[in-house]
């Protein structure tokens, strides 16, 4: 007798003695054989599956709730040798009572493998027993329980009577012994039927073809289950496996057809007949999916209409471009053909020979020049071409030079501390990825699982189980009773231990990286003084405190500093559009004065008084501060007090703490916040009295002195003065906008794409490709681009007064968007496996019972699907498409807009050209997304027992190297200069890094839970605990968020005038109202 040493998850229900099988009736005596080969038996009250013999304890009486034939779906009761009925209490399966009640009620369901003529449960069928709890009775090792709601391998029972057991034993002995001996069995093994799935330990489908009957001589492997096949006819190959539609007459195998959606292929590349809802086209080399049967009749008309519209659009674009470029719409431009083309982009004031250009073409040329100059550039001397440092009083034109791609970002103040901190992340990610690659490679390559799989002649499981021959590992069945199971359990033990070690090492590496980021920020602040060092924020002024002279004199007296300056924050939210309009006029005026372009390129008429604000507009601005004006500007509640030197702040603090009643003696610095979302700390120690302002109505207002941790460009001046209720409403409105955008994207793109893909896979058995998927994928990418703008608008609507705090929201929302996109792609890719209950094999415990070949196959296929979603799509394709979306398309659309405007108005100003051709600014909140999302996505492969884990992290190593070059080129060559002058965003990313790091700890507990038969709830608990521990250590031990001030070495620092000359901005020229006032008053 064959001892069932080869594990099987579906019993071969077709190896029978006779052509017909008798149906069971109520009262028949039956035996139930599990997937382990052992039959259910009773010991006292306990139900187990221990032996293949001892028939008295394994015999059950099958009783229905009615007399007659037992059918699939009927309610049945199983009575044992002692007269007790099998009952289910929770997950326990026992036989305790003689009663037939709710706990004893079972629903029998027959497994269907092919065409059936009736639903009667017959001798030799595979059945499942569903209990009153909704769970199916399963067998793990010798243990019998009812734990899962799935019909899988562990829930399958072969139901038979005594005669059937005796007869089938001979067949197993004769057939499977020959298959296990190397597939050397004779032609047409008896009792193998057509169109019925069978299991084998044969490693070659060519050898299996010899066993098939003459009426169905082709072997078709099962689409999801390894080592399962059926014998079929040539025209029915695709019915057994939609991907294998080519019946090879030489090998008698159903092989893969390259034409997706084909029902019958004459060769690998030629299709004879397509599935329903597919149309044969392109010379029988493609099956076109039409989605709906009703569209089949109009597909040719629709194709003709689309081609006609495309042709008409192309003709219109050619005519429009010809008109615009050849002089019929735009004025004729005739540059000197001998002049190098590079010189067309250089300013005329630097010695370029004059060209015969119209104002419109000059404006566009200057717009291109502005596009180049507003990027990150070095100021160089026109003679020596060496970098220079300008003081505040220096005047004259500037020249710009490109920075080398490998420049030291910490050596220069380019955009603030945020840029060098961001680029340090890829060095850390490279080291982390190398660590994970080495660890996961050692787990798989040197584990027993890798060794067992390598004995088949294959180097990796994914190549076997995901490749063309899914039968390559079936020979493992005949070698050892549970060789594969032992190797998987050994892999799990190794993974649980090594992943925990990797988490510990990654934890230490992450803390070291956070400490290094903090040190880099501190050194950057020390080497590059910033204007925040000279400033404190005085809050608490009443709305009517708008007299700058009075406020300055008050603060000079309070701080005992005669050279102190102030920048009053005005609440101009109701006039923000008017302020922006007037600022544009002032900017154009200053550009003309500086020689950037001529007054004829301003788009307005020249007037004797010059450009800029008219006298009427100056009077309007002055009226905003008129005390008698009921609509005058109001104080936003705060004033920036600017000291001439850093040591002036230090002496002022000492004076306050010594003279104004501090509660504790000595010099004390404000404690910096621990978390990125915490409020800015007070400048004075707790208990110190602050100055008090006397309002016009005689009321006293106690002022609050707060530290300043950002530069003037990081202040959102138009949001100053926003009340708390308005902030709350802004947060609610932004949340609704963000949630609504996700819902709209899901309804407009995700649902149609998922519907299309699932329908396609249901009929064709493969993921869709071709034009339709390209169009839908392009729409998804375009939608992501639109979502970025929507989220940016939503974040600005909140009312943040600091851009670094606004960046926190942008980073988290964009990271969530990318994770949603990734999980959607993964769900679509894993949909075919979910149809075959793949997750049931992954979530079952490994400590007891046999590990099936199907479980290993499922995990290999799932991990391979995940790998193909990550590489190259998520890791590389999106980043390569970003320059096309973010820079090329806006530039082309900007040029087209300028041409359309000129055709309508015959006027294009230089400032309009600058605004339309200006590149996107540096957006570190969006760029930081990859540092969290990509490692999180790659960490998902740790939950699979396959070789894909180390390959995925090896690709993450390559991604880290790629991003070093890609991001440096993007930031130093393409984007517009924007300032990120605090490390608040970097600190937020450091805290968010706990998400991917803790997934390694969760993977360790996942494998430990499967080994020890723990509840899988320990996995999310471990993940959350890892995040909490990492956040606690980061917040209390590292404290990476630091302010730019360092009063300990204030005497060696440069003064305010010197620093603002180096930065080209200050607390005055960044204040919009202050700029307008400077154009309205001579003083």
- Measuring CA to CA, which residue among 1003, 1004, 999, 984 is closest to residue 924? 984
Q: How far apart are CA 600 and CA 604, in angstroms?
A: 8
Average of per-residue pLDDT across 792-818: 87
- CA 270 to chain centroid: 39
pLDDT surpassing 80 at residue 1074: yes
pLDDT surpassing 80 at residue 532: yes
pLDDT surpassing 60 at residue 152: yes
**Residue the block writes with tokens 């519209």:** 309
Average of per-residue pLDDT across 772-777: 60
- Measuring CA to CA, which residue among 922, 977, 916, 973 is closest to residue 367? 916
E strand or H helix at 526, and its extent? helix 483-527
Query: 392, 375 in Cβ contact below 8 A?
Result: no
Task: Give the residue ranges of DSSP H helices in 746-852.
Answer: 751-764, 771-798, 803-829, 831-834, 838-843
Q: Give every CB contact of residue 494 below 8 A, 6+ residues apart in sequence.
A: 443, 447
E strand or H helix at 192, and its extent? none
pLDDT surpassing 80 at residue 329: no
For the record, the structure tokens of 618 come out as 């100056």
**Residue the block writes with tokens 């057939």:** 175
User: The whole model's pTM is what?
Assistant: 0.73
pLDDT recorded at residue 439: 94
Query: 283, 271 in Cβ contact below 8 A?
Result: no
pLDDT surpassing 70 at residue 1069: yes
- Residue 396: pLDDT band by 50, 70, 90 thresholds? very low
pLDDT surpassing 80 at residue 40: yes
pLDDT surpassing 60 at residue 341: no
pLDDT tens digits for range 989-1037: 999 999 999 999 999 999 999 888 888 899 999 999 999 999 999 999 9
Check whether the bond before 872 is cis (ω within 30° of 0). yes
**Residue the block writes with tokens 């040798």:** 81
pLDDT surpassing 60 at residue 298: no
Tell me the C-alpha to C-alpha distance, in Å, between residue 298 and each of 262, 305, 307, 762.
21, 10, 14, 23
For the record, the structure tokens of 660 come out as 């104004």
pLDDT tens digits for range 163-216: 554 443 332 333 333 333 345 444 445 557 787 777 676 656 666 777 788 888
Q: Give every CB contact of residue 430 below 8 A, 6+ residues apart in sequence.
A: 957, 960, 961, 964
Q: Give every CB contact of residue 770 below 8 A, 6+ residues apart in sequence.
A: 286, 288, 289
At residue 94, φ and ψ (nearest 5 deg) are -140, 180
pLDDT surpassing 90 at residue 220: no
pLDDT surpassing 60 at residue 696: yes
- Measuring CA to CA, which residue among 856, 108, 147, 824 is closest to residue 448? 856
- Residue 839: pLDDT band by 50, 70, 90 thresholds? low
Average of per-residue pLDDT across 222-244: 77
pLDDT tens digits for range 626-660: 888 888 899 999 999 999 988 888 888 777 777 65
- pLDDT higher for 674 or 565? 565
Query: 210, 185 in Cβ contact below 8 A?
Result: yes
Cβ atoms within 10 Å, residue 965: 12
* Beta-bridge partner residues of 32: 159
Q: How far apart are CA 1001 and CA 999, in angstroms?
A: 5
Q: How far apart are CA 1 and CA 37, in angstroms?
A: 12
E strand or H helix at 702, and its extent? strand 700-702
- pLDDT higher for 431 or 280? 431
Cβ atoms within 10 Å, residue 813: 25
Query: 921, 971 in Cβ contact below 8 A?
Result: no
pLDDT surpassing 90 at residue 465: no
Query: 988, 1040 in Cβ contact below 8 A?
Result: no
- pLDDT higher for 431 or 574? 431
- pLDDT higher for 600 or 686? 600
Q: How far apart are CA 1010 and CA 949, in angstroms?
A: 18
pLDDT recorded at residue 676: 83
Positive or negative torsion for Cα 77, 82, 83, 84:
negative
Residues in the chain: 1083
Question: Is residue 55 classed as helix, strand or coil in its secondary structure?
Answer: helix
pLDDT recorded at residue 774: 59
At residue 651, φ and ψ (nearest 5 deg) are -65, -35
Beta strands at 28-33 and 157-160: parallel, antiparallel or unpaired: antiparallel
pLDDT surpassing 80 at residue 1045: no
pLDDT surpassing 90 at residue 712: yes
Looking at the chain, the whole-number percentage of residues with pLDDT higher than 90 is 24
pLDDT recorded at residue 474: 57
pLDDT recorded at residue 997: 96
Q: How far apart are CA 154 and CA 133, in angstroms?
A: 17
pLDDT surpassing 80 at residue 303: no
pLDDT surpassing 60 at residue 605: no
pLDDT tens digits for range 93-149: 998 888 888 899 999 998 765 445 567 888 878 899 999 998 999 988 778 999 888
Rounded mean pLDDT of the chain? 77
Cβ atoms within 10 Å, residue 152: 22
């Amino acid at each position: 007798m064959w001892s069932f040493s080869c594990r099987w998850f579906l019993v071969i229900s077709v190896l029978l003695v006779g052509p017909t099988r008798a149906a069971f009736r109520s009262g028949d005596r039956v035996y139930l054989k599990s997937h382990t080969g052992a039959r259910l038996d009773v010991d006292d009250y306990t139900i187990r599956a221990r032996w293949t013999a001892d028939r008295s304890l394994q015999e059950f009486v099958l009783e229905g709730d009615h007399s007659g034939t037992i059918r699939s779906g009927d309610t049945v009761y199983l009575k044992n040798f002692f007269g007790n009925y099998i009952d289910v209490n929770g997950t326990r399966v026992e036989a305790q009572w003689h009663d037939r009640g709710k706990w004893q009620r079972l629903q029998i369901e027959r497994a269907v493998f092919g065409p059936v003529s009736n639903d009667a449960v017959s001798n030799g069928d595979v059945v499942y027993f569903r209990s009153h709890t909704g769970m199916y009775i399963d067998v793990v090792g010798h243990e019998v329980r009812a734990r899962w709601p799935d019909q899988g391998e562990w829930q399958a029972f072969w139901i038979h009577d005594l005669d059937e057991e005796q007869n089938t034993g001979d067949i197993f002995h004769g057939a499977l012994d020959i298959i296990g001996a190397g597939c050397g069995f004779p032609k047409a093994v008896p009792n193998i039927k057509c169109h019925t799935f069978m299991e084998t330990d044969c490693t070659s489908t060519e050898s299996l073809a010899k066993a098939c009957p003459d009426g169905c001589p082709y072997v078709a492997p099962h689409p999801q289950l390894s080592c399962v096949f059926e014998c079929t006819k040539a025209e029915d190959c695709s019915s057994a496996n939609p991907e294998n539609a080519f019946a090879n007459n030489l090998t008698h195998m159903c092989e893969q057809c390259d034409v997706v959606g084909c029902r019958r292929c004459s060769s690998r590349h030629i299709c004879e007949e397509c599935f329903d809802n597919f149309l044969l086209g392109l010379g029988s080399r493609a099956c076109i999916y039409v989605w709906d049967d009703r569209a089949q009749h109009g597909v040719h008309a629709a194709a003709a209409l689309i081609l006609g519209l495309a042709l008409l659009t192309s003709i219109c674009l050619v005519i429009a471009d010809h008109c615009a470029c050849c002089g019929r719409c735009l004025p004729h431009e005739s540059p000197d053909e001998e002049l190098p083309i590079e010189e067309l982009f250089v300013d005329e004031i630097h010695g370029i020979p004059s060209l015969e250009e119209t104002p419109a073409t000059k404006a566009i040329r200057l717009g291109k020049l502005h596009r180049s100059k507003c990027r990150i550039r070095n100021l160089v001397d026109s003679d020596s071409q060496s970098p220079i440092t300008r003081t505040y009083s220096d005047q004259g034109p500037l020249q710009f030079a490109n920075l080398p791609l490998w420049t030291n970002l910490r050596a220069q103040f380019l955009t603030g501390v945020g840029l060098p901190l961001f680029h340090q992340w890829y060095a850390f990610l490279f080291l982390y990825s190398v660590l994970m690659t080495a660890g996961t490679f050692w787990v798989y390559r040197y584990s027993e699982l890798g060794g067992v799989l390598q004995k088949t002649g294959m180097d990796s499981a994914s190549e076997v189980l995901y490749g063309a021959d899914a039968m390559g590992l079936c020979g493992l069945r005949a070698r050892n009773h549970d060789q594969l199971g032992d190797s998987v359990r050994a892999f799990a033990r190794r993974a649980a231990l090594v992943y925990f070690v990797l988490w510990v090492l990654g934890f230490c590496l992450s803390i070291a990286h956070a400490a290094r980021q903090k040190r880099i920020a501190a050194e950057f602040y020390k080497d590059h003084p910033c204007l925040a060092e000279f400033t404190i924020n005085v809050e608490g002024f009443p709305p009517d405190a708008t007299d700058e002279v009075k406020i300055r004199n008050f603060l000079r007296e309070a701080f005992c500093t005669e050279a102190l300056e102030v920048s009053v924050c005005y609440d101009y939210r109701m006039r923000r559009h008017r302020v922006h309009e007037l600022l544009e006029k002032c900017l154009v005026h200053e550009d003309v004065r500086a020689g950037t372009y001529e007054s004829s390129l301003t788009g307005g008429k020249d007037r004797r008084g010059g450009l800029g604000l008219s006298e009427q507009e100056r009077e309007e601005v002055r009226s905003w501060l008129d005390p008698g004006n009921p609509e005058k500007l109001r104080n936003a509640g705060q004033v920036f007090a600017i000291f001439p030197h850093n040591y002036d702040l230090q002496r002022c603090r000492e004076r306050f703490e010594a003279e104004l009643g501090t509660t504790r003696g000595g010099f004390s610095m404000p404690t910096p916040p621990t978390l990125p979302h915490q409020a800015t700390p007070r400048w004075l120690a707790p208990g110190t009295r602050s100055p008090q302002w006397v309002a016009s109505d005689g009321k006293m207002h106690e002022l609050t002195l707060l530290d300043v941790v950002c530069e003037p460009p990081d202040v959102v001046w138009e949001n100053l003065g926003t009340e708390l209720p308005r902030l709350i409403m802004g947060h609610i409105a932004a949340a609704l906008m963000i949630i609504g955008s996700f819902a709209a994207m899901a309804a407009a793109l995700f649902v149609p794409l998922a519907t299309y893909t699932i329908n396609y896979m249901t009929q064709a058995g493969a993921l869709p490709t071709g034009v339709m998927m390209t169009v839908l994928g392009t729409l998804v990418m375009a939608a992501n681009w639109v979502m970025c703008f929507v989220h940016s608008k939503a974040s600005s609507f909140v009312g943040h007064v600091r851009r670094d705090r606004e960046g926190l929201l942008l980073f988290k929302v964009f990271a969530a968007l990318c994770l949603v996109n990734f999980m959607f792609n993964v769900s679509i890719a894993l949909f075919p496996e979910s149809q075959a209950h793949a997750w049931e094999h992954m979530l079952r415990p490994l400590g007891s019972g046999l590990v099936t070949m199907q479980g290993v196959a499922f995990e290999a296929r799932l991990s391979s699907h995940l790998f193909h979603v990550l590489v190259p799509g998520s890791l590389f394709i999106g980043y390569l498409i970003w320059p096309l979306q973010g820079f090329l398309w806006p530039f082309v659309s900007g040029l087209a807009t300028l041409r359309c405007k000129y055709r309508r108005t015959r006027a294009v100003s230089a400032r309009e050209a600058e605004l339309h051709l200006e590149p996107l600014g540096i957006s570190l909140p969006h760029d930081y997304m990859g540092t969290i999302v990509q490692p999180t996505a790659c960490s998902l492969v740790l939950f699979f027992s396959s070789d894909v884990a180390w390959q995925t992290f090896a690709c993450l190593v390559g991604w880290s190297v790629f991003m070093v070059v890609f991001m440096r080129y993007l930031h130093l060559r393409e984007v517009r200069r924007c300032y990120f002058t605090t490390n608040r965003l970097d600190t937020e990313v450091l805290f968010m890094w706990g998400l991917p790091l803790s997934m390694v700890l969760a993977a360790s507990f996942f494998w430990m839970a499967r080994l020890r038969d723990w509840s899988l709830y320990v996995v999310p608990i471990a993940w959350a605990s890892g995040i909490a521990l990492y956040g606690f250590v980061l917040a209390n031990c590292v404290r990476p968020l630091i302010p730019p001030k360092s009063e300990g070495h204030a005497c060696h620092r440069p003064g305010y005038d010197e620093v603002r000359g180096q930065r080209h901005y200050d607390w005055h020229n960044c204040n919009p109202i202050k700029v307008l006032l400077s154009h309205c008053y001579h003083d």
